[in-house]
Amino acid sequence: MNDRQQVQQLLDFIDASPSPWHAVATMEQALQAAAFTRLSEKNSWQLEAGGRYFVVRDDSSIIAFVVGHKVLAENGYKIIGAHTDSPGLRIKPHALHKSGEILRMGVEVYGGPILATFTDRDLSFAGRVSYRDEAGEIKTQLVRFEQSLLRLPNLAIHMNRGVNEDGLKLNKQSELPLIYSMSSKEQFPDQVFTELLVTQCHIAAEQILSWEFNVYDTQKGAFWGAEDAFYTDSQLDNLASCHAGLTALLDEVVLNAGNTLVCAFFDHEEVGSESTKGADGSFLPDVLERIALAAALNTEDYKRALANSFMLSVDMAHAYQPNFPAAYETEHKVYVNKGPVIKLNANQRYSSESVSVAMFIGWCQAANIPYQKYAHRTDIPCGSTIGPMTSAKLGIRTVDVGNAMWAMHSIRESAGVQDHAYMIAVMQCFFKH
């Protein structure tokens, strides 16, 4: 498969995944097609050497793993970590409300999106609905509204004369509600919303109990630039890394290399990771421990396995944008299509250190791909990833890496076509090593 075909698969993956719950369902399909078995954390696990498994926690975090033939205590776990969520807008519990003659959808800001990029886009919403079935059980169903139902129209420049000088500023409470429809006097907004759900989910109104919805952009991903060297879509941060990790894992040579391989993709990274299914929670430690228990390792051998493990914490990086040179550290510019970016921060906002960086460079060299090193400007606060918290919890040597991209946290982000293939190649090298 060439670089462009790999990116087309990524764009199809993102377009099938308008929310973190959908992203996990999309990955689940790919895993099942590759003969992975779904495990429940509620049941006891009988794992076989060479077996392929995955676990989902609360619909939006997933850990897929392969039990290797090699001795776990000595060989350790080879882990790729990333996140399934992206910053944006989430629908409020009482979704619709009247404003004069118009029905608007109330939204809450999730994480740190660039809010101005949500204006004038063909928006809709997708997520999950929890309901009581005929037998009285609580069930969950994924729901996606395909058509563009929502919009945040900009204010005309005639009422916002300074917009090009001051930038577009939106009050999060009063200026973000999305326009849904005209309203009539007889309508009750909650009822209108419930009817919308009933029509889409085919569940009776009285059975629907609760839901979570993400606002998404209905425009599909696309290639752009000379020779289609770049691509664009929503949620590249961080579904591009999830897709690269999963593609690397689902290679037959990788799967049969005899190593214990783990892909851990978490929800809630954009809001701090502190939740039952977040990277700062117990999900990864629980799964690693249960893999060890199923292989009858004692506590010392489990600790040895952790000490012999390595994690690639993969999240997107900031590509140099020449229109804004002052935003970048002049000696550490990184570019799209120039290879994976190794992220370094002395204050441990990234988990990379000398040895883990050296090991990653070794895999890049073995895969015959370029790499770049990034440091943030010293006078601007640096972002972080799931790397520091997972390595602190488990004591696993970790490197923070990711592909360079433009417009991180915009609803329409961009990256380089070659980089996606480079990342998959170095991940496969790491998994096979």
Give contact residues for Zn ion (rule: CB under 5 A).
237-238, 315
Distance from C-alpha of 331 to C-alpha of 69, rounded to nearest angstrom: 44
Nearer to Zn ion, 67 or 336 (CB): 336
Nearer to Zn ion, 257 or 404 (CB): 404
Distance from C-alpha of 246 to C-alpha of 240, rounded to nearest angstrom: 10
Least distance between Zn ion and beta carbon 317 (Å):
10
Least distance between Zn ion and beta carbon 351 (Å):
14
Cβ 431 vs Cβ 252: under 8 Å = no
Nearer to Zn ion, 264 or 291 (CB): 264
- 270-278 long-range contacts, CB within 8 A, separation 24+: 270/83, 270/85, 270/86, 270/87, 270/110, 270/111, 270/112, 271/85, 271/110, 271/111, 273/386, 273/389, 276/57, 276/58, 277/57, 277/58, 277/60, 277/61, 278/61
Nearer to Zn ion, 85 or 217 (CB): 85
Nearer to Zn ion, 66 or 415 (CB): 415
Cβ 382 vs Cβ 376: under 8 Å = yes
Least distance between Zn ion and beta carbon 87 (Å):
9
Nearer to Zn ion, 238 or 313 (CB): 238
Cβ burial of 368 (10 Å; 0-12, 13-18, 19+) is exposed
Least distance between Zn ion and beta carbon 402 (Å):
8
Nearer to Zn ion, 217 or 400 (CB): 400
Least distance between Zn ion and beta carbon 320 (Å):
18
Cβ 90 vs Cβ 215: under 8 Å = yes
DSSP state of 226: G
Q: Which of 283, 314, 237, 268 has its CA nearest to residue 78?
A: 314
Least distance between Zn ion and beta carbon 171 (Å):
26
Least distance between Zn ion and beta carbon 270 (Å):
7
C-alpha 414: how far from its chain's center? 15
Nearer to Zn ion, 212 or 315 (CB): 315
Phi, psi values for residue 303, rounded to 5°: -65, -35
Least distance between Zn ion and beta carbon 101 (Å):
40
